[in-house]
Amino acid sequence: GAGVSQSPSNKVTEKGKDVELRCDPISGHTALYWYRQSLGQGLEFLIYFQGNSAPDKSGLPSDRFSAERTGGSVSTLTIQRTQQEDSAVYLCASSPPSDTQYFGPGTRLTVL
Amino acid sequence: SQQGEEDPQALSIQEGENATMNCSYKTSINNLQWYRQNSGRGLVHLILIRSNEREKHSGRLRVTLDTSKKSSSLLITASRAADTASYFCATLNSGSARQLTFGSGTQLTVLP
């Protein structure tokens, strides 16, 4: 079946602009996660959605970052007033009621 | 912050040899997982070992877990050039948080 998809695959933006990154999880998966990976580093947790519960936003690095998940499916990660240090690969993952997470291909964000 | 630390950071071996990667972590965990990443994009789940397990096998993969030392190892036997990738350990910590905490990864290069 279809895996997790993300769009766009690459995004180049200018400092100060807002960007939106999209994640389509695997159908039926109740949990959705956003992570960020800087060059040559491991993944950094950003935010987690589980069903209709309030999201766990404990990993968001600043109030310029926000995310929503509409209808328990598609999620959008928004970064306002982008900075150069926001440049990274943003990875989305979804999981069924188990501990295995299925990752999308990521969005490579470059802030000039 | 990254909980898991992988050792070595980079490993280069000949095809057919075994590759061993180690991971250490700091807090109490529910389970530990290993992921593989090609070319800095999406991660692929390899294997999960629960905190009450000591060893697990999947094909050419063997994972061990020592909770007293807070460490794990991933062994890839009879390596192939196609195994070239970055390998990350990730822990699901005990408690209510559901996000994974990733290590910084080991870059494995298998030479043909």
A34-51 per-position pLDDT tens digit: 999 988 778 899 999 998
Domains, chain B, with CATH or none: 5-111 (2.60.40.10)
pLDDT at A42: 82
Give the CATH class of A16-99. mainly beta
Nearest to A43 by CA among B102, B22, B29: B102
List the domain boundaries for chain A. 16-99
Question: What is the pairing mode between strands A107-111 and A10-13?
Answer: parallel
Kindly determine whether residue A89 and residue B45, on different chains, have CB atoms separated by under 8 Å: no
pLDDT digits (tens, 9 = 90+) for B72-96: 999 999 999 999 999 999 999 877 6
pLDDT computed for residue A1 by the predictor: 56
Place of tokens 């933006």: A13
In the prediction, which pLDDT does B99 show? 82
- For residues B74 and A1, the model is more confident at B74
Low-confidence ranges of chain B (pLDDT < 70): 1-4, 40, 96
Q: Which of A35-39, A86-90, A108-112 has the lowest mean pLDDT?
A: A35-39
pLDDT of residue B1: 32
- Looking at beta carbons, which residues of chain B come within 8 Å of A31? 98
State whether A35 and B90 contact (CB < 8 Å).
Answer: no
Most confident of the following: A4-18, A98-112, B25-39 = A4-18
Please give the C-alpha separations between residue A56 and each of A33, A91, A93, B15, B110, in angstroms, as whole numbers: 9, 16, 14, 43, 39
Contact B102 A35 (CB under 8 A): yes
pLDDT at B10: 93
Please report, rounded to a whole number, the percentage of residues in chain A having pLDDT higher than 90. Answer: 77
Which of B5, B86, B100 would best serve as a mutation to test chain A binding (most A beta carbons within 10 A)? B100
Give the side-chain half-sphere CA count within 13 A for A59.
23
- Give the pLDDT confidence score for residue B42 in this predicted structure: 81
Is the CB of residue A50 less than 8 Å away from at least one CB of chain B? yes
- A17-27 pLDDT, tens digit per residue, is 999 999 999 99
